[in-house]
Structure 1
Amino acid sequence: MKTVAQMLCDKPQQKVHTIDVDAPMLEALRLMARQNIGALPVTRGSSLLGIVSERDYARKGVLQGRSSVATSVRAFMTEPVLTVSPRQSIRECMALMTEHHLRHLPVLDNGVLVGLLSIGDLVKEAMAEQDALIQHLEQYIRGEVA
């Protein structure tokens, strides 16, 4: 099974978009819409403070009557944020996401944000690995593998 580092290298979009903790939530929503992403790591300088998602906005904003124009990302973000390292396996990430009902996992390498994994990224990778295993087993059954 691949590691997080291997999976990040295979992602077509390597850039991790972030939002400052004091930015208005509307700015975060616009960035997520523009980049077609569902969550943003929340930072202050190079420090990861939390994560904010469309789900956070719906639950902590719309349902509570908060304005996305007048309220900073800080009021909507989830903290503390669970993170993974590049050395962890995809299986470990899936277990963590399942256990904690997460859709996104920031990747930190020695405290530096180097990536963001979505549940979609992990499902896609798991399916690719299963497809490869099935193909290998079919070849083995047909006697095509020595």
Structure 2
Amino acid sequence: MTEDPRSIGQSASVVEAARLMREEHIGSLPITDDEKLVGMITDRDITTRVVAEAADPAMTSVGDVYSRDLISVEPDEDLDEALQLMARHQVRRLPVVENGSLVGIVAQADIALGANEKKTGELVEAISAPSEGERS
């Protein structure tokens, strides 16, 4: 788990979010409001909700495009449950939340380092499967 992860506020521009993702070498950022987690913005959100819509990223706020359907875990969550959540929701990162406040991020890479190869392979396969909206 990455403790005390970088986050961004809803009023920040998409450009600010993208720059922070580039600087930190990450594909998503937690969105916080007074340390409380309210959502996540991903590079995919920026691509599909800003670039593909020809919106001006400098004039578009993070609050306009971030994902509000939060999937998160508690710090004492079982690793197997976190794996199941990641696979079920096809996400590579889960915010770790304690009493509503963001305390960390658990990533697919964290699990790969701590889990056996079979579990890691199963997780990668589940996350990589086409989602319902992408299937023909």
1:9-31 per-residue CA deviation (whole Å, 9 max, x = no partner) reads xx5xx331000011001001001
Match for residue 98 of structure 2?
Answer: 109
Match for residue 137 of structure 1?
Answer: none
Distance 1:27 1:71 in 2: 10
Match for residue 27 of structure 1?
Answer: 16
2:78 corresponds to 1:81: no
Distance 1:30 1:109 in 2: 28
Find the partner of 1:62 among 28, 42, 51.
51
Distance 1:22 1:92 in 2: 33
Deviates more, 1:73-82 or 1:23-32: 73-82
The runs of 4+ residues in structure 1 deviating greater than 3 Å are 127-130
2:109 corresponds to 1:120: yes
Q: Looking at CA atoms only, which structure, 1 or 2, has the larger radius of gyration? A: 1
Distance 1:67 1:120 in 2: 33
Taking structure 2 as the reference length, the TM-score comes to: 0.79
Distance 1:66 1:81 in 2: 24
5+ residue gaps, structure 2, are 120-136
Match for residue 15 of structure 1?
Answer: 4
Match for residue 36 of structure 1?
Answer: 25
Match for residue 96 of structure 1?
Answer: 85
1:51-81 per-residue CA deviation (whole Å, 9 max, x = no partner) reads 0011111111111112211100012210031
Q: 1:123: how far off?
A: 2.3
**Number of residue pairs matched by the alignment:** 119
Q: Percent identity?
A: 31
RMSD, matched Cα: 1.8
Taking structure 1 as the reference length, the TM-score comes to: 0.74
